[in-house]
C-alpha cells in the first residue's frame, strides 16, 4: 500500500529489485549479443569496451540473468499455471487488443498473455543458458564437439531473437496498459486498475485481513 488510499500492493520490494536486475541484465545481454550477431550492429561492442570485452562480459551478464530470473521464476511460478479462464481469454485476444475486454472472465494476478510471457521467457532463458555454456569457450571448450557447438550457436541466436520479441511485447504491454508500470516501480497499482484487469486477484487482496 502506498500514497493513495485505494492502492493495492502488487509487488514486494524484493520482487521489484529482482525484476529490475533481470531487466537491466536482459537489455545488456541483448545489446552485447546483437553486436556479435549482425555486422551492422558490431559498433554496439563499443558500449562494452570493444569486441574482446564484449565477448568476455556477455556470458557473465548471462549468469547474472540466469540467477536473477530463477528468483523471479520461484516467486511467480505458482501464479502462472494455465486455467480454463486463460483459454477463454486467449480466444478473445482480438477484443483485448481492441481495448474491449468487458465481459471477459475475471482474472487472477496474471492474464493469459502475461503467463505466456512468463513461460516463454522461462523456457528460452533455460535454453539460452544451456547453449551459452556450450559457447563459453574459455571455460567449456573441451566438453563439446564442434558440431554440438554449431547447434548451440544457432539455437542461442534463435532463442535470443525469440526472447527479444517477447521482451518487446512485455515492454509494450506496460506502455499500452496505463497504470501497470507503477506496480514494478512503486510496488502498488490503483484499485481501479486491479478491478479492471485482475478482478479475481483484487477480490482476494481486498478479502485479506
Give the residues lining the site for another protein (CB under 8 A): 6, 36-40, 42, 45, 50-52, 54-55, 97-99, 135, 137-138, 141, 146-147, 149-151, 153-154, 157-158, 161, 164-165, 168-169, 172, 175-179, 190-196, 202-203, 206-207
Our CB check for another protein shows the closer of 14 and 50 to be 50
Does residue 170 carry a catalytic annotation?
Answer: yes
Find the shortest distance in angstroms from Cβ 161 to another protein. Answer: 4
Catalytic residue among 38, 58, 156, 170: 170
3 state SS for 92-116: CHHHHHCCCCCCCCCCCCCCHHHHH
Rounded CA-CA distance 62/69 in Å is 10
Three-state SS at 189:
strand
Closest separation between CB of residue 43 and another protein, Å?
A: 9
User: C-alpha grid cell for residue 172?
Assistant: 509494450
Give the three-class secondary structure for 9.
strand
**21 or 135: CB nearest another protein:** 135
Pick the closest to residue 135 from 159, 122, 154, 120 (CA basis): 154
Amino acid at each position: 500500500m502506498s500514497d493513495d488510499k485505494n492502492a493495492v500492493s502488487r509487488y514486494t520490494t524484493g520482487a521489484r529489485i529482482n525484476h529490475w536486475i533481470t531487466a537491466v541484465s536482459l537489455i545488456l545481454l541483448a545489446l552485447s549479443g546483437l553486436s556479435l550477431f549482425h555486422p551492422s550492429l558490431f559498433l554496439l561492442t563499443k558500449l562494452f569496451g570493444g569486441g574482446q570485452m564484449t565477448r568476455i562480459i556477455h556470458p557473465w551478464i548471462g549468469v547474472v540473468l540466469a540467477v536473477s530470473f530463477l528468483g523471479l521464476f520461484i516467486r511467480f511460478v505458482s501464479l502462472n499455471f494455465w486455467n480454463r479462464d486463460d483459454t477463454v481469454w486467449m480466444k478473445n485476444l482480438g477484443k483485448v487488443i481492441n481495448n474491449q475486454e468487458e465481459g471477459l472472465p475475471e482474472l487472477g494476478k496474471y492474464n493469459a498473455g502475461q503467463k505466456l510471457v512468463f513461460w516463454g521467457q522461462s523456457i528460452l532463458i533455460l535454453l539460452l543458458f544451456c547453449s551459452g555454456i556450450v559457447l563459453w569457450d574459455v571455460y567449456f571448450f573441451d566438453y563439446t564437439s564442434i558440431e554440438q557447438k554449431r547447434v548451440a550457436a544457432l539455437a542461442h541466436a534463435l532463442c535470443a531473437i525469440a526472447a527479444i520479441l517477447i521482451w518487446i511485447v512485455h515492454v509494450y504491454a506496460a506502455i499500452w496498459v496505463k497504470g501497470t508500470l507503477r506496480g514494478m516501480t512503486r510496488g502498488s497499482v490503483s484499485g481501479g486498475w486491479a478491478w479492471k484487469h485482475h478482478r479475481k486477484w483484487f477480490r482476494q487482496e481486498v478479502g485479506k485481513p
